[in-house]
Amino acid sequence: MPDSTSDSTSDSMPHSTSDSTSDRLRVRKTYKLYIAGAFPRSESGRSYPVRSATGELLAHAAQASRKDLRDAVLAARKAFASWSSTTAYNRGQVLYRVAEMLDGRRDQFVGEVSDAEGVSTKAAATQVDHAIDRWVYYAGWADKYAQVAGGTNPVAGPYFNFSLPEPTGVVGVLAPQDSSLLGLVSVLAPVVTTGNTAVVVTSEDRPLPAASLAEVLATSDLPGGVVNLLTGVTAELSPWLAGHRDVNAIDLTGVPNADRKALQIAAADNVKRVYAPGPVDWSADPGTSRLSAFVETKTVWHPIGV
Amino acid sequence: MEHAALHDITRDDSSLRRFLHGLPGVDQVGAEGRAAGLATRSIKTTAKAWAIDMAIRMVDLTTLEGADTPGKVRSLCAKAARPDPSDATVPAVAAVCVYPDLVETAVHALRGTPVGVASVATAFPSGRASLETKLHDVRDAVGAGATEIDMVIDRGAFLAGRYLQVFDEIVATKAACGDAHLKVILETGELATLDNVRRASWLALLAGGDFIKTSTGKVTPAATPPVALVMLEAVRDFAAATIGYGATATIGPGAAATIGPGRDLAGEIRGVKLAGGIRTSKEAVRYLVMVNEVAGDAWLDPRRFRFGASSLLNDLLLQRHKLATGNYDGPDYVTVD
Amino acid sequence: MADKLFEYAPAPESRDIARLRPSYQIFVNGGFRDGSGEAIKTINPADEEPLAEVAEAGPSDVDDAVTAARGAFRPWSALPGRERGKYLFRIARAIQERGRELAVLESLDNGKPIREARDVDIPLAAAHFFYYAGWADKLGYAGFGPSPRPIGVAGQIIPWNFPLLMAAWKIAPALACGNTVVLKPAETTPLTALVLAEIIAEAGLPPGVVNILAGGPAIGQAIVEHGDIDKIAFTGSTEVGKIIRRTLAGTSTRLSLELGGKAANIVFDDAPLDQAVEGIVNGIFFNQGQVCCAGSRLLVQESVADELVAALQRRLATLRVGDPLDKNTDVGAINSAAQLARIRELTEAGVQEGATRWSPPCELPERGYWFVPTVFTGVSQAHRIAREEIFGPVLSVLTFRTPDEAVEKANNTPYGLSAGIWTDKGSRILSMASRLRAGVVWANTFNRFDPASPFGGFKESGFGREGGRHGLEAYLDA
């Protein structure tokens, strides 16, 4: 942790980072970005203070720059070929492994969510449990979505014709600002379930659960680069993400309505798919809309004859 | 299925193309599955000891670097003749493989040993030179005493469908080799499909190559199990197709089934050399299993199967030591040459 | 092949890994107990030595199991699908974790090569649980209405050829849909199903959701005839399948049947021949040919018949027959003396009817139930070996001249489980597939299984599908 925070430690620190009741001094974590499977600081050298809902300083998070974003897109593109051609069964196994890892660190996340969102431990625990189950939910979709969204088309002629969903490519995700973990998982998991790779800009004011989630992802057999998490200022990064021509789709969930139009205009430059939902209840059944938002339907014709 | 005598097949480009494209297709998924299945064989104890010694005898100990010097080649030759200075029971390798200008050094260093001298030639590794330059390269190496020539085919011509040109170049190179054995490098990593590997294998065998060889070692992927599988099938089928080769022979996989494990051999037995990327004993033993089960034990012979490698030899020595003593060995106990 | 240059030394898997116990118990209402039936010894078919004693279920155990399943049904089906799914994920993971143990145990009890148990049976069993775990909270998307309901108590009777895998095929979709089950493994192969019961108990499933009874045909019959079972799922012979159909006539009990087969594996002259040879070998010698979908009839185009048969014979000479626990064994033991007798009877009929019998040179162990891989050529449609399911490592080779003739011969059987097509021409694959009366058609491959892919037959091979989205239908009130 940078020196500048040393004066704000001690008994006022919230529980996830506070010193324990013993005299022992806790070893604190440096929160970093997650790009290409590694944990770099921002290339810009910047960080920004992250405060709890009650205004206490929690940590300094890395403040990603447009160059970090560029690196993250490169990493996501590089990871796409392999991740999208991994069997759906294996992708499901990996996502389930994420759930296992997250469940093992449940208490840590309860603390972080409680600090970040200013909710009770009980309410935070409910959110973490939902987040774990959400990974399980999407793990199950990995080898089923094509069975639901694809199928054969009985064309009038001697042709076998079928359609199947394929991943769109690199998806830029502007994560929800309010729900620091459950919201993040709810927007991230469906993107990678179908074989896309993701560049996520996390909640600006509540980025710490996301930074910790990166550690879970890094230990869950998820190949480096499939998910890249950037903490920082959403309004600073989102235009670069929306305008990046090697990003195939963008999710504007974490962007206020007022800012969405400009991003949609920028996204038109390479005909990005834009997903811009209204308000979301993160605890509700997620359905399949976030899966279908980031796939392309491919139809294949083949003659039938001896 | 195409059956035709050799002179008919190679009469012109279109008849050669018809023959090569008439070969049975290779289903990639099936071939990969077969290769992976063979890799699950578990080779232990006495079988492993036999396989390791056989693999050592099949190594073409290779150095093909721009930085090669006579000193480097001399030390490599010493290693080839006596891979383990502390253990005289370790057999010598098959050959040393060097660039043409270092053949003379190798020949001198290996005098009195059973180790052959192989040289890459024909504008290795790209093959992008005039035929005259390539043949000159070959004559240089043979003149300096090389007993084996590793040529590269013109992959550009092959991929463009100019099969007869590739054929003629191999024939001309074979002629320039004199008594030296000719290994034809297909550079399978550039041929891209297993169908092409099968066609190029047959092309090289028809043109008189004594060996078909996977790779230069300068292109990735180099030797892979599915490629080795298809090439072993080619030499197996070629031997079957050339039974009674001469006036009445037909060429083609039509006769393919008549030889194999447990059968009497006839026909022309050509060799296979895998080169590039084979670094561990485990891989080498797996390839010997493949030789055994796909081509048959007639090919379990350094005259018919080779590994082009450098670091493989040391791993074979380490594993040999492990089998002998029961303890794992470390790289400090084998020589670095 | 004693004079081979490269003789593989034995590479046996240790039988200790199976953690074989002297006795195994049935699993009823969450507890293990001795059944009230006879105590029988299960035999290792590779050496005819007893492996363990199993106290089989009696009629009262069937009653108890059904009562337990009935009692467990309401709370189990009322659980959110998400929670049911998590139980199934736990089972999947536990099978993966204990995979090697289960593989060795399966090989010992069944006689199948350890390579197959390790690489096919056990991973696929885990994958089935994994796959259906994911469906538990998504049933509304499966195409059977917005909120499909479970059926109730399912009685499931499975065969001896893939003991754990068949248990997984049955249990996983039933539980995902919210049913409870009473499962009976085959009498000769109960052990892995009873270890699965342990796994299920350790996974914390509520008592009664899964009950596993060991026993023979009488227990199977008691399950079928039990009045309080809502659904019977049976995999086994067509003969028994018909008996079950008759027994359930006039009742409201639902039924799905996965029965016998006599699959045609059709090789055209433009096939990738080396891969076709592998597919034929896998088609008929996988699991000693004791596979309902085995490619037991090779239909080969006349123009490549001699070449293909010769290549096949060359390949068969490399098959390694013997100790199932040796990691290099390709063909293991026949599961039982009774099955061996049936294979012998049918192959002798083949010789008497005039077909030509061929086998590679092969030394069989002295003890145990063994049958050498066998190929019959010169077989015609009229021969018994072309019509009856042999369920052993015996291939009948027939020829054809045109695609029409291939279709005609392939379909000329009461069965309709599977078929194979080998050709480099895509349009031919699709036209053949559309004309073959079989539930699974493999093109340029054979004997592929995947939890996402439905499996099941036409005609006398049964009805209902297992696997995939379609496999849910058998366990939903749709």
CB-based contacts of C116, cutoff 8 Å, min separation 6: C286, C287, C332
Of C8, C272, C314, nearest to B30 by CB-CB distance is C272
**In chain B, which residues have their Cβ closer than 8 Å to the Cβ of C397?**
none
Cβ burial of B249 (10 Å; 0-12, 13-18, 19+) is middle
C-beta atoms surrounding B313 within 10 Å? 27
A152 CB within 8 Å of a chain C CB:
no
Mean pLDDT of C352-365: 96
| Domain A66-303, classified CATH 3.40.605.10, yes or no | yes
pTM of the complete model: 0.95
Lowest mean pLDDT, pick from A13-17, B127-131, C75-79, C95-99: A13-17
Of A88, A141, A306, nearest to C403 by CB-CB distance is A306
**B48 assigned to active site:** no
Which run of H or E residues covers position A261?
A: helix A257-267
For residue B221, is the peptide bond before it cis, meaning its omega torsion is within 30 degrees of 0?
Answer: yes
Sheet with A159-167, side-by-side order of all strands = A151-152, A159-167, A295-303
Is C101 inside any structural domain? yes
Overall size of chain A counted in residues: 306
Q: Which residue has the tokens 């339907």?
A: A297
CA distance B141 to B102: 9
Measured in angstroms, the CA of A160 and the nearest CA of chain C are apart by 7
**Is the Cα torsion angle B44, B47, B50, B53 positive or negative in sign?**
negative
| CB atoms C130 and A93 under 8 Å | yes
| CB atoms C274 and B262 under 8 Å | no
Q: Which residue of C has its CA nearest to A145?
A: C141
Token duo for residue A223: 């190949």
Q: Do C462 and C353 fall into the same domain?
A: no
**In chain C, which residues have their Cβ closer than 8 Å to the Cβ of B34?**
274-275, 278
Overall size of chain B counted in residues: 337
pLDDT digits (tens, 9 = 90+) for A174-230: 999 999 999 999 999 999 999 999 999 999 999 999 999 999 999 999 999 999 999
- How far, rounded to the nearest angstrom, does the alpha carbon of residue A231 sit from its chain's CA centroid? 11
| CB atoms C426 and A96 under 8 Å | no
Helix (H, G, I), strand (E, B) or coil at A44: coil
Mean pLDDT of C186-208: 98
pLDDT of C4:
82
Q: Which residue of B has its CA nearest to C3?
A: B262
- Please list the ranges in chain B whose pLDDT falls under 70: 1-4, 244-266
CB-based contacts of C280, cutoff 8 Å, min separation 6: C265, C267, C295, C298, C312, C395, C446
**Cβ–Cβ pairs < 8 A, chains B and C:** 104
CA distance B134 to B151: 9
Q: Which residue of B has its CA nearest to C446?
A: B30
| CB atoms A96 and C403 under 8 Å | no
Q: Report CA Rg, chain A.
A: 20
Helix (H, G, I), strand (E, B) or coil at A109: helix
C264-267/C297-301 β-pairing = parallel
Q: Do C335 and C250 fall into the same domain?
A: no
Per-residue pLDDT of chain A (306 residues), as tens digits, is 344 444 443 444 455 555 556 789 999 999 999 999 999 999 999 999 999 999 999 999 999 999 999 999 999 999 999 999 999 999 999 999 999 999 999 999 999 999 999 999 999 999 999 999 999 999 999 999 999 999 999 999 999 999 999 999 999 999 999 999 999 999 999 999 999 999 999 999 999 999 999 999 999 999 999 999 999 999 999 999 999 999 999 999 999 999 999 999 999 999 999 999 999 999 999 999 999 999 999 999 999 999
CA distance C63 to C75: 20
Map chain C to HEC letters: CCCCCCCCCCCECCHHHHCCCCEECEEECCEEECCCCCEEEEEECCCCEEEEEEECCCHHHHHHHHHHHHHHHHHHHHCCHHHHHHHHHHHHHHHHHCHHHHHHHHHHHHCCCHHHHHHHHHHHHHHHHHHHHHHCCCHHHCCCCCCCCECCEEEEECCCCCHHHHHHHHHHHHHHCCCEEEEECCCCCCHHHHHHHHHHHHCCCCCCCEEECCCCHHHHHHHHHCCCCCEEEEECCHHHHHHHHHHCCCCCCEEEEECCCCCEEEECCCCCHHHHHHHHHHHHHHHHHCCCCCCCEEEEEHHHHHHHHHHHHHHHCCCCECCCCECCCCECCCCCHHHHHHHHHHHHHHHHCCCEEECCCCCCCCCCCCCCCEEEECCCCCCHHHHCCCCCCEEEEEEECCHHHHHHHHHCCCCCCEEEEECCCHHHHHHHHHHCCCCEEEECCCCCCCCCCCECCCHHHEECCECCHHHHHHHECC
C434 CB within 8 Å of a chain A CB:
yes
CB-based contacts of C424, cutoff 8 Å, min separation 6: B25, C270, C271, C272
**C202 assigned to active site:** no
Q: Report CA Rg, chain C.
A: 22
CA distance C376 to C396: 5
Mutate to test the interface with C, among B1, B27, B291, B294 (most CBs of C within 10 A): B27
- Domain positions in chain A: 66-303
Measured in angstroms, the CA of B282 and the nearest CA of chain C are apart by 15
CA distance B167 to B163: 6
C462-463/C254-258 β-pairing = antiparallel
C387 CB within 8 Å of a chain A CB:
no
pLDDT of B259:
36
**Do the chains C and A touch each other, judged by at least 3 C-beta pairs below 8 angstroms?**
yes
Number of domains in chain C: 2
8 Å CB contact between C186 and C252:
no
Q: Do C30 and C103 fall into the same domain?
A: yes
**Do the chains B and C touch each other, judged by at least 3 C-beta pairs below 8 angstroms?**
yes
Q: Do C33 and C110 fall into the same domain?
A: yes
pLDDT of B264:
41
CB-based contacts of A249, cutoff 8 Å, min separation 6: A168, A169, A170, A171, A172, A196, A272, A273, A274, A275, A293, A294
The helix, strand and coil proportions of chain A, stated in percent and rounded to the nearest 5, come to 45, 20, 40
**Is the Cα torsion angle A129, A132, A135, A141 positive or negative in sign?**
negative
Chain B: list its partners (3+ Cβ pairs within 8 Å).
C
| CB atoms A92 and C130 under 8 Å | yes
CA distance A95 to A90: 9
In eight-state DSSP terms, residue A142 is T
For residue B302, is the peptide bond before it cis, meaning its omega torsion is within 30 degrees of 0?
Answer: no
CA distance C393 to C115: 17
**Is the Cα torsion angle A279, A281, A287, A290 positive or negative in sign?**
positive
Among the CATH numbers 3.40.190.80, 3.40.1640.10, 3.20.20.70, 2.102.10.10, which is that of B6-333?
Answer: 3.20.20.70
B264 CB within 8 Å of a chain C CB:
no
Q: Do C52 and C196 fall into the same domain?
A: yes
Q: What is the CATH number of the domain that holds C466?
A: 3.40.605.10
Measured in angstroms, the CA of C389 and the nearest CA of chain A are apart by 29
CA distance C336 to B29: 35
pLDDT reading at C208 higher than 60 = yes
Map A143-160 to HEC letters: CCHHHHHCEECCCCCCEE
> Which domain, by its residues, includes C342?
264-443
- Domain positions in chain B: 6-333
Of A141, A302, A304, nearest to C134 by CB-CB distance is A141
**B150 assigned to active site:** yes
| CB atoms A144 and C127 under 8 Å | no
Helix (H, G, I), strand (E, B) or coil at A134: helix
| CB atoms A303 and C137 under 8 Å | no
Measured in angstroms, the CA of B100 and the nearest CA of chain C are apart by 36
pLDDT digits (tens, 9 = 90+) for C254-312: 999 999 999 999 999 999 999 999 999 999 999 999 999 999 999 999 999 999 999 99
| CB atoms A96 and C89 under 8 Å | yes
Helix (H, G, I), strand (E, B) or coil at A232: coil
B256 CB within 8 Å of a chain C CB:
yes
CB-based contacts of A171, cutoff 8 Å, min separation 6: A191, A196, A197, A198, A199, A247, A248, A249, A250, A251, A294
Measured in angstroms, the CA of C220 and the nearest CA of chain B are apart by 38
Active-site residue identified among B210, B237, B273, B315: B273
**In chain B, which residues have their Cβ closer than 8 Å to the Cβ of C9?**
43-48
**In chain C, which residues have their Cβ closer than 8 Å to the Cβ of B42?**
8, 11, 327-328
Token duo for residue A213: 């989630």
